[in-house]
Chains A and B, each alone.
Chain A
């Protein structure tokens, strides 16, 4: 959860909360009890690690999604070997997101981009695999977590909102799924682990809770709620079970929480980073974890920081008390989402962690927050994990993808005095909300659309980038379905779209093919460019006739002409002015200014069309680093 909110709560509410925490941290347990919390070392330099497992001999196995490989490390974190190459053949991998080790040492890898499970020996020999994309038994849509025991393989099939159980050979055994309208059901399953008596324990990141099923798949417990306090969760992702305890990577609370299988909190470890990219026991969006057989070593994965941290269990009394200053007195942070939109003198950014949209005045180089829209919830006008926004200044409209509620919402903005720098809570009102299940029906789609980006064409249609169905969907300004273009062969993994200045070409970023695919106005693939992109994400076809693309994997922005010829590029990894860490969304305003969401640095950066740094905004320490480096250069 956002530290900003935590601080506000602390400042306004109480001085008793730290006391409660101390009481929580010193719950009545035997003095000899071993607990995690002692930081040992880190494994750095990974690329988007998404899954981890520990073998019986202490070997650490990491699914490195960003390099399409599995990497093996000794118990002390030293590298041993890696295997896997990008592709879809046997033994090749595409964005592996989960890994588990069977008692006999076989390694099961969730080959997410290929919608399959692959089985390897510890040496990396491909043994067998199963699965393909689809909704049927044994098929997958963006599988993520995996757990294995002597007889079962359990896979989180996130896109189908279910958990599938297989035997060790990959034969389908059972499926655990929730009804779409079941408020208590699984909304976005992410991680899975096997508990006592064969229980299947699943994290649900959109509902901020954990589901416990018995070995047959019958629900027997459910715990967690949205929030930062002990027992509450903020987008829980990976998890591990050991000796009746459930260890949850509580990503947006930047900690690991330990529960018993009935949901009672036992303890937690890890606190949010204070200094940018700080490690050494500070956690930043932990997304997976594994415990060794002895229960003495835990490896916590932080994909956001491209690293793992290794912790050991030590006697409870030897763990220093929680650093309350770190918990409550740290640097207020903004947690911008991955996308943004510029329109008129406004800048809109979704903030998935607070489940709201932020609207800034951008008439100057430093954006001023003038309102927030929405809050966490399922009612109309509320959000769960808003993922993208689009400003339409001509009609004073703002569109927002409400990913967790599977809808597109449209707001009207009423800024009575243009240029007023005044925070006004009622500056927006909801106009329409479109249930994306209705689009699934209208367009005869296999899955409910799961859009990650949004753009507008010159005809006024609003285009949704639907990575789940590998298509682009157009709706009118009245949110009526118009048409869809693309398919899995032409657009395996679209992440963003922009229309050319003349409106005759749609430029679509494809993360799997690592290029920009141009479509003509009839939806026919035309040409592709950007062949050396590492991890392209955002795109804008500027008013200046150039196409700007962010490359999150190479920490740079590339500028092309509309024929796909590279004009220039700028950026490298770092925190200085013009440096990036995982740049994502990008847009250009009427003045020609380029704004980039520098996602891994919790800030936005403003550039001229030539790439010259103008300003930065967002979390103070990260912004300060940019401004300081600019002063040095000057």
Chain B
């Protein structure tokens, strides 16, 4: 198992590049390791903070995520009407995980995601879909496993 820390900043830069509008209105790429597990949604309405367990994410083993959904000013979202869906894919391989993760709300915009597994080495993209009143925004973060 290899630590992911050294990959995360580079990977995040690549992913957030996708969410950078030509006008440059979207947030800057987190540059420090401390910010590596924080990502803004692509429409800029939410900030997602997450912590994997175990950390770093292992290859071929189940892991979980503690996720906090914050508003754009990084204030926790207390609303019960906020739902979260989490998934992961390997874009180059055009497939997802072999498992279906389960998201459990814990209140105050916090969620526990269990049953995640990266079964292959390579570039994975974790997606966080936050839904409120029928409108969903996505945030995504990249993880590269070797």
Which A residues are closer than 8 A to B by beta carbons? 375, 379-381, 395-396, 412, 414, 416, 425-426, 428-435, 437-439, 441, 478-480
Contacts and interface: CB of A to CB of B under 8 A. Distances in A.
Contact of A381 (B127, B131, B134): B127
Interface stretch (B48-56, B68-76, B111-119, B135-143): B135-143
Contacts of B22: 395-396
Interface in B1-54: 15, 17-23, 42-43
A395 B42 CA distance: 13
B21 A395 contact: yes
Given A375-B94, A380-B129, A426-B92, A434 B135 contact: yes
Nearest to B132: A438
A286 B1 CA distance: 53
B126 interface: no
Most buried by A among B18, B20, B23, B129: B18
A173 B57 CA distance: 58
A478 B43 contact: yes
A439 B135 CA distance: 10
5 contacts: A381-B127, A412-B19, A425-B91, A430-B138, A434-B136
Contacts of B18: 412, 414, 426, 428-429
Contacts of B125: 426
Contact of B134 (A375, A395, A438): A438
A615 B15 CA distance: 37
Top 3 A-B residue pairs of the complex, sorted by shortest distance between their CB atoms = A438-B134, A435-B134, A433-B136
Contacts of B21: 395-396, 412
Contact of B135 (A396, A416, A480): A480
A430 B42 contact: yes
B18 to A, nearest CB: 4
Given A380-B127, A414-B18, A433-B135, 19 more contacts: A375-B94, A379-B85, A379-B129, A380-B129, A380-B138, A396-B21, A396-B22, A412-B18, A412-B19, A428-B18, A429-B19, A429-B140, A430-B42, A430-B127, A431-B42, A431-B138, A432-B42, A434-B134, A438-B134
Contacts of B135: 432-435, 438, 479-480
B87 interface: yes
Given A425-B94, A426-B92, A432 B136 contact: yes
A79 B20 CA distance: 62
B19 to A, nearest CB: 6
Contacts of A429: 15, 18-19, 42, 138, 140
B92 A425 contact: yes
Nearest to A442: B134
A433 B129 contact: yes
Nearest to A478: B43
A437 B134 CA distance: 7
A416 B13 CA distance: 13
Given A429-B138, A431-B43, A435-B135, A414 B17 contact: yes
A426 B142 CA distance: 11
A395 B85 CA distance: 26
B111 to A, nearest CB: 16
A478 B125 CA distance: 24
A260 B99 CA distance: 33
Interface of B: 15, 17-23, 42-43, 85, 87, 91-92, 94, 125, 127, 129, 131, 133-138, 140
A426 B91 contact: yes
Nearest to A396: B22
Nearest to A440: B134
A400 to B, nearest CB: 14
Contacts of A438: 133-135
Contacts of B129: 379-380, 430, 433
Contacts of A435: 131, 134-136
Nearest to A435: B134
A431 B92 CA distance: 20
A396 B21 CA distance: 7
A480 B45 CA distance: 13
A381 B129 CA distance: 10
A121 to B, nearest CB: 49
Nearest to B93: A425
Nearest to A433: B136
Contact of B137 (A426, A432, A437, A480): A432
A425 B131 CA distance: 25
Contact of A431 (B15, B91, B137): B137
B72 to A, nearest CB: 12
A433 B83 CA distance: 13
Contacts of A375: 94
Contacts of A428: 18
Nearest to B23: A395
A434 B43 CA distance: 13
A412 B42 contact: yes
A390 B25 CA distance: 22
Contacts of B92: 425-426
A438 B125 CA distance: 28
Contacts of A379: 85, 87, 129
Contacts of A416: 17
A326 to B, nearest CB: 28
B96 to A, nearest CB: 8
Nearest to A441: B134
B30 to A, nearest CB: 17
A632 to B, nearest CB: 42
A375 B89 CA distance: 12
B138 A432 contact: yes
B113 to A, nearest CB: 14
A395 B129 CA distance: 21
Contact of B43 (A381, A396, A432): A432
Nearest to A416: B17
A82 B3 CA distance: 75
Contacts of B15: 429
B48 to A, nearest CB: 14
B98 to A, nearest CB: 15
A524 B129 CA distance: 38
Contacts of B85: 379-380
A107 to B, nearest CB: 44
A396 B94 CA distance: 23
Contacts of B136: 380, 432-435
Nearest to B41: A431
A223 B86 CA distance: 29
Contacts of A433: 129, 135-136, 138
